[in-house]
Amino acid sequence: MHVKRECHGVELRVLRDYLIELGGKMIDEARISGEGWSAKFREGEPFNVGRLKLGTLHVNFEGDVAVLNRLLSAFDLKMLRAGG
């Protein structure tokens, strides 16, 4: 299964921390992998909200359907924050 997410207003280091807290290990600066899943991320163009510019991160998740469903449920809860 392959799932794409676009995240606004969250720093790259925070996103990495979230994925590590969810059981991942850093492979390199742009990849984290856990049991049955992996995530690649890259920075995108800023997202404008009026005069405010928020950073954008694109995250591509791959893995087993059941594993990704559990991971993404937990990830989405972590992203429920101001700017997430």
d(CA 25, CA 6): 21
What is the structure's pLDDT at 84? 46
Indicate the domain borders of the chain.
2-79
For 2-79, the fitting CATH number among 2.60.40.1230, 3.40.50.300, 3.30.365.10, 3.30.1370.80 is 3.30.1370.80
41 neighbors 18 (Cβ within 8 angstroms): no
pLDDT digits (tens, 9 = 90+) for 57-82: 999 999 999 999 999 999 999 998 65
What is the structure's pLDDT at 47? 84
pLDDT digits (tens, 9 = 90+) for 7-38: 988 899 999 999 999 999 999 999 999 999 99
d(CA 6, CA 66): 21
12 by DSSP, 3-state: which? helix
Distances (CA, A) of 28 to 33, 38, 79: 10, 12, 22
